[in-house]
Structure 1
Amino acid sequence: MAKLSIEDLKRIKEREMARMSLREGEHRAKIVVHMGTCGIAAGARKVMEAFLEAVSESGARDVVVTQSGCAGLCNREPMATVEIVEKAPIKYVDLNPEKAKRIFQEHIQGGHVVEEYALGRGSESTAG
């Protein structure tokens, strides 16, 4: 195995810090991928990867991607909830990586709910 230089370590640190910022910190939007056993079996890991990739590729620093357990609708997995500050959360169902990228582009970046994948809107809002 090759030895790492100080520059290599700095690059690794920067890359990992950027990845961590996708899970923590101040945010305008939060994407929660439901990763219970049923969700994982239905493909939630690939959906999570697609959201993380979309956020990373866009350079967005105000979007957090995280996970939770089962949302209680096993037959509609993979699922994700999108929470935008001061707006009702939207629960998306029957997801795959392509749908996740579309949700990111249209809802997170564009501000338009992708109605055909949305199960419903929550009654609570996330205050900033």
Structure 2
Amino acid sequence: MTGWDLQPQGISSVLKTTGEFAAKIEKHATSYGKHLQSAAENAGTISADGDSGGGGKGGEAKGGLVALALSQFAEHTTPDLKFIAARAGKSLNGAMDATTEYLKGGQHMAERAAQAQTKALSAPDLDPKKPGKQTG
């Protein structure tokens, strides 16, 4: 690879679009647990005496096998969704920081090149004994 050819406008557009999707993932991750909890509460129960739904005998908690499975599923998958959203955010910030540093470096190199060009184009001084000049 001979060099990089980054286009800040293109990078900005991609980061914006990706950021919008990452925000949607975060929004869905937040509502994810609520939806599973609602599904678990409305899944109904089955008991040995034929009672279904409504929480069973003696005020037992609502639930059953489906509710338990959904609860455990949410417990194990919610951290993964949160990680995906956090990873996306961190990756977006890293891409933005890398692009910024690349552009700063390019600007710094351009400034140094301009200084070198100005120095090279200046008239030569033929007086070697002028104060501030080094001989040898």
TM-score between the two structures when normalised by the length of structure 1: 0.21
Q: Whose helix fraction is larger, Structure 1's or Structure 2's?
A: 2
Q: Whose strand fraction is larger, Structure 1's or Structure 2's?
A: 1
TM-score between the two structures when normalised by the length of structure 2: 0.20
